[in-house]
Structure formats: structure tokens, C-alpha cells
Homo-oligomer: A and B are copies of this chain.
Amino acid sequence: MKELVKNQNRRRFLRGGGALAGAALASTASAAGALAGQAQPLEVAPWSKTPGEPALWHPYGQPSPFEDKVVRRSRGAAPFPGANSSMTPLQDLFGIITPTGLVFERHHAGIPLIDPAQHRLAVHGLVARPTLFSMDELVRLPSVSRIHFLECSGNTGREWKGPGTASLQFSHGLLSCCEWTGVPLSVLLEEVGVDPQAAWILAEGADAAGMTRSIPMAKALDDALLVYAQNGERLRPEHGYPLRLFLPGFEGNMSVKWLRRLKVGREPFMSREETSKYTDSLPDGTARQFTFLMETKSVITFPAPDHRLREPGFYQIAGLAWTGRGRIRRVDVSVDGGRNWQEARLQEPVLDRALTRFTLPWRWDGAPAVLQSRAIDETGYVQPSGRQLVHARGLESNYHFNAIQSWKVGADGIISNVQV
């Protein structure tokens, strides 16, 4: 804050570059008449003249009707019933917490509406005490809360083939960050007694797809959670109500929703979602499998193709950075397509495997510009360029695209998706 204030002293934002036109009031207002009799009087708005809607107008609150364009959006029709996704409108959001109503969706057989009183979690396989847990029993166990991002490994996948859609929501919107509350999976495994031979756990959802993934035991004992709350309240139906697995930093598909079964075994279970899907084809005909970790990535969320700059002048470039490896250490921003880089300010707190908001003040001179951000995590990993990523992986992948994103600002203020 001090740094920001000091920065202010060097120049003003609204008139410093003739950018914005905050309307000046003609004279200092009188104490009594407030702003009456001025060049531009402050009119009393209609909503200030009569009492408004009562408290509990909505016992569960809703956004303003003026914000009804800020919603999740889908690319189009589902290939078969219930298999679809919807994207978070990152271009309209602030800070690091994603409002739960706007957290992205990815379903393989639609959203089951589960009665929590009837729901059970079965734990079996290589355990001493196979057990069915009710939700009441799970919620009584010791719990923790953590703020973590969740990203689909297919996020930004269309960029593998060249510049994708001119929309941040559609290019990067399979990404959200919430406060998750639940029982450490390690606590549950202690309850049932895991066989020393056990090395993998099959997690199965109660949706009609019976979504299944294999989870390494090391992750299960480290920081995996059985989550029942998100941003303070119980999970929403589309996010796994009443129970989901949550694996911090791993691809979203593994955080199995509507969790109904955990089977402990010696080997991975080779389910559909880790053999025919969610693997990364390589140029030599082989594929990377079990690529769990979401690598370091960032994107500029303002300005983005979903916005248009109406005039030259001051703008605050803002964006998000994240890494499955831990904390973000630094984000650099370029406004000239990567020739020069400036270090962005990171908004505190910078949390382990959470979205990190970065900002950089920018005065746009009205000429074309190419905006990029490049994240560096605490392990020293540097977000690659598209060229570096393709050099390493080829062009056959659909998942795990984490390259630097370029937004081109045209002289007309229109912003497009480019690769430079």
C-alpha cells in the first residue's frame, strides 16, 4: 500500500495522460445545499427518493439485475446427454476467490441431485475394515479448510493448434479458486486401516457415468481432502454435492465429484478417464499417462478479448497466475510481445496452489501492443512460450497447455488472441 501511495504522488491517473474525464464540479459545494447550483449538479437519483427493497428480499442473495451477463457459458451442444462443460467468466472477476455460482463445470453424465441423507461413501479393497460412511459421520471427523485453484487439464487446449477463440472465458475459463473444507483423506484411511501393500486408490463418482480415476497413495496421504464445503457453504450440485475428492494442484478431473466409492489396491486401475482420455499423445506415437500435476501458468484477465479499450490513457493490467507445484514467486508482464518484461505486483496473500492476482500499471499510447504474462513458481519453473511447449510435446496433445498467452491490442482498442 505504501508503495502504491508513493507511486500516486508521481502522477495522477485521471488527468495525467488526458485519459479519463472525471467531471469537475464547478465550485466547492456549500455545507447545506451539498452540491446544488453547480456547473454539473449532483442530481438526486430516483432510487434515493423512496425506500428500497426490504432486507430478506432474497434470503439467499442474488447478483444485481444489471450484472445478468456475468454467467458461466458453454461452447455449444453436448456430444451426448450430460457430457459438457461451462466456463468461468474470468474477464468479469476480481481478486482470487471465484464466486461459487460462477465456478466452471465439467460433467460426463450431467448433474445428479443427491439426497445427502441417503448418500454413502464406501471404502474397501486393501483395508482392514471395509466401511460405509454416511455424510453425518464424515462431517463429524476432523476437518481443515484450504484455498486452492481447480483447473481442468483441458483448459486452454484449443491453443495447441494455433490461436484459439478471441475470448478469455472460452480460452481459460475452466479455472476457478475456492476455499475448500473437508476431511483429510489420511484421516479416513487411518480409520479403515490401509494394507502396507496398497499403492493406489480408485475414486468413483455417483453420477451416471460412474467417473473413476486412480489416485496415488502418496497423494492420498499427503494433502488429499474429502470435501463437503466450498467457499463456506455446502458444495453445489454441479460441484459434487454432497461429497467430492479434492487433490490440490492435480488436474481437475481427478477431484472426483459425487464421491461414492474408494477402493484401495496395489496398481492403478486403468479406467477410461486415464487411458483413452486424459493422456497426452506425443509425436513418436507414445503417450504421457498419469500427468497429474497442473504446471505453472498465467493469463492476463484485463484487458482481454472480452473487453475493448475505448481510448488511450491509464489502465491497470491485471491477471492470474497459479502452479500445481506450490506458490507463485514472480510474474513478469510484457506489453511489446516479449521483447521487454516488467515485474508485476503480486496481491497478498500468495497461497500454496491458489490463484495469485498480479497487476501492473500501464499507460496505453493508442498504438498496437501485444500483452503477455509469464509466471515463475517457487521451484524456479518458468512458464514456457508456445514454441518451447510445442518443441517439447509436439502438436498431438489436447491437455496441459500452459504456455504464455498473447493478447494483441489493436489501434481501435479491439483485443485479439494471437501467437507471437
On A, residues with C-beta under 8 Å from B are 1, 4-5, 7-9, 12-15, 19-29, 34-35, 38, 40, 42, 45, 47-67, 70-74, 78, 81-82, 84-86, 92-103, 105-107, 109-116, 118-120, 122, 124-127, 129-134, 137, 140-145, 147, 178-181, 184, 186-187, 190-191, 206-208, 210, 221-223, 228-229, 231-239, 241-242, 260-261, 263, 314-316, 318, 347, 349, 351, 357, 359, 361
Contacts and interface: CB of A to CB of B under 8 A. Distances in A.
B179 A4 contact: no
A84 B129 CA distance: 53
Given A51-B208, A55-B111, A60-B72, A67 B316 contact: no
Quick one: copies of this chain in the complex?
A: 2
B236 A63 contact: yes
Contacts of A26: 130
Contact of A119 (B45, B99, B239): B45
A68 to B, nearest CB: 8
Contact of A234 (B70, B137, B314): B70
Contacts of A49: 208
Contacts of A116: 64, 66
A84 B210 contact: no
Given A45-B119, A124-B29, A237-B53, A71 B94 contact: no
Contacts of A20: 137, 140
A52 to B, nearest CB: 3
A62 B102 CA distance: 10
Among A64, A86, A318, residue most surrounded by chain B Cβ atoms (within 10 Å): A64
B233 A29 contact: no
Contacts of A318: 143
26 contacts: A5-B221, A8-B142, A12-B191, A13-B187, A14-B141, A29-B125, A34-B263, A35-B122, A42-B260, A47-B206, A52-B112, A55-B72, A55-B74, A56-B74, A56-B86, A60-B72, A60-B101, A61-B103, A63-B236, A92-B233, A94-B145, A94-B232, A96-B145, A97-B179, A143-B359, A147-B349
B140 A315 contact: yes
Contacts of A347: 144-145
Contacts of A210: 48
B145 A35 contact: no
A107 B55 contact: yes
Contact of A316 (B63, B140, B359): B140
- A-B pairs with lowest CB-CB distance, top 6: A52-B110, A25-B130, A95-B145, A59-B71, A51-B82, A47-B112
Contact of A57 (B47, B233, B238): B238
A99 B144 contact: no
Contacts of A349: 147, 349, 351
B236 A62 contact: yes
